[in-house]
Amino acid sequence: QKEVEQDPGPLSVPEGAIVSLNCTYSNSAFQYFMWYRQYSRKGPELLMYTYSSGNKEDGRFTAQVDKSSKYISLFIRDSQPSDSATYLCAMSPYTGANSKLTFGKGITLSVRP
């Protein structure tokens, strides 16, 4: 079993839809949970991070962590064509400049106008 599993894609939704992206993990040491967005042939950019369990909202994006179920989600409200990208979840057991990230496989989202 891989440490981080991400729902397979690709995912195609109409503009304005609510998108739910999910990851599960097996390592109970993970404390920091991140969502990255990656456009084609570009490096990932951090969308949101969450420490431990709970919800965090930033504009149209909401990150949710359920440590008891080892399950994290990213919700995108009112999705836009500009949200079309690959979304990767990432996790780390601690923070600090040396903290290693374990990534999910990524899911490609396409938002149709």
Among 11, 17, 61, 103, binds other proteins (CB under 8 A): 103
Cβ nearer to other proteins, comparing 18 with 99:
99
Does residue 61 bind other proteins (CB under 8 A)?
A: no
Among 44, 64, 74, 109, binds other proteins (CB under 8 A): 44
Task: Please give the angle made by the CA atoms of 78, 92 and 26, to the nearest 5 degrees.
Answer: 85
Does residue 46 bind other proteins (CB under 8 A)?
A: yes
Does residue 99 bind other proteins (CB under 8 A)?
A: yes
Q: Bridge-partner residues for 15, per DSSP?
A: none
Q: Judge contact between 89 and 107, C-beta under 8 A.
A: no
Q: Which residue has the tokens 């991140």?
A: 34
